Structure 1
Amino acid sequence: MSSLQHITVIGDPLAPKVASFSSRGPSITSPGILKPDIIGPGVSILAAWPVPVDNGTEGKATFNMISGTSMSCPHLSGIAALLKSSHPDWSPAAIKSAIMTTAEVENLAGSAIVDQTLFAADIFALGAGHVNPSKANDPGLIYDIQPEDYIPYLCGLNYTDEQIQVITHKQ
């Protein structure tokens, strides 16, 4: 019998932490764009499959603990859907703004969120911070932008008129 125990730890003062596999910025395509935008839960997430799968143990399982950006994405997507439900008039940019402007940059201990080295995560690992759905629902202030507001930025990146027309679907 193994002495290893699988337990859920609640209240880890270093939580949340940026995982070693988390993507880092800046954007290679456009270094003026900071990446990531936000971080969210993505490590040891209980995930379910609609059919039993072989997970290397006795029998087949319909769930497993998995990690990765593919686990963080559903959390952030769900938060965005909840915000849209609470604020049906908000645009995608307004929802993104609410999420980013209310993000947490401190862990449960009140110190800077750390990365895998246990040192403070920098902006290229943390983005705006760790998502806080409750705060995002009532952010106080949101920044909104319309698709056409991106045209000057695309011009600054030397996109051609034809390329911009493909993106904007306008002549």
Structure 2
Amino acid sequence: MKVINLYQEENEIIQLAVENNRQAQQKIYSQFSPKMLGVCRQYIKDIHQAEDIMITAFMKVFVNLKNFQHQGSFEGWIRRIMVNECISFIRVQKKVSFVEDETFFDETFNNVESQFSVDDIQFLIDSLPEGYKMVFNLYAIEGFKHKEIANMLEINEGTSKSQLSHARKMLQGQINKLKNYEYGTE
């Protein structure tokens, strides 16, 4: 049995893509585009806009591929470009505003029970105000710390915490309504 060094293969594909090899670029796009569309979709409600942003972000991936340092995962590097492109799009559209509210609740957020589908959960997240949604996605899904989020969004760290707290509270209320509706208690 021959073991293929996947890391070496990835590095070779990246190097070929840096040299503008279209097959290597297509391989990278084909491998990562489904997951990256999902990332863009977390921030952008309209699937067509999310796809457009993903394609634009992949163009940035290929333009900046020579800058990839091979430190950390390649997928994580691409993901960061996708997230930044989504944030830029939302800023340009001026669809987001942050309330400079330094108060926040350090409450635990119950995990969503498995009775809800991914589409149900995405629908609930999509219904959040843009500021809440962006901070929630960056913190809960992407795993950024509040300090990083504050720097990315050019807001105070306390505002990031507040936006997350309000998003969690709103989501919990929506989940409770959905549960009550499903069980006929509303």
- In the superposition, the TM-score normalised over structure 1's length comes to 0.26
* Structure with greater proportional helix content: 2
* Structure with greater proportional strand content: 1
Q: Which gives a bigger RCO, structure 1 or 2 (Cα 8 Å, sep 6+)? A: 1
